[in-house]
Amino acid sequence: MKPESHRSPCPVACTLDLIGDKWTLLVVRDLALGKSHFSEFQKSPEGIATNILSNRLARLLEHGIVEKYPSETIPSREAYRLTKKGKTLKPILKSIFNWGLKYIEGTKPFDEMEQTS
């Protein structure tokens, strides 16, 4: 991977530059919940556009957060999964999830979201 220029050496700023946009952590969330195919990511309730999804997956691949592998369920297709590095984001997602449940009215656990979707 080529060295990148950063707007500052602050680790918070650099991390947000990589995963702090509106969509990237939602893609990581879906991977952590077991989604692996492009079409599965598109079915998430947030409704990510295909061009944005393609861009975010490419960026996550470039940074070693996800990897492609041959799909076991759809012949001649590729699937995605979190790498070891990507899996280290799970506790961060869990903290954001728990914070949202506690402080943002109207949020629901995943099992309740699936029942009402």
Output the DSSP codes for 59-114: HHHHTTSEEEEE-SSSTT-EEEEE-HHHHTTHHHHHHHHHHHHHHSTT---HHHHH
Distance of CA 32 to the CA centre of its chain: 8
| Average pLDDT score over residue span 81-90 | 98
pLDDT at 25: 96
Q: What percent of the chain has pLDDT over 90?
A: 80
Query: Distance between CA atoms of 73 and 13, rounded to whole angstroms?
Result: 38
pLDDT range class, residue 117, cuts 50, 70, 90 = very low
81 φψ region: left (φ > 0), alpha (ψ -120 to 50), beta (else): beta
**Of 55, 62, 61, which is closest to residue 82 (Cα–Cα)?**
61
Q: pLDDT for 93-115, tens place per residue? A: 999 999 999 999 999 887 765 54
Q: Tell me the one-letter amino acid at 23.
A: W
Q: What percent of the chain has pLDDT over 70?
A: 91
Q: Residue 72 pLDDT > 80, yes or no?
A: yes
pLDDT at 44: 93
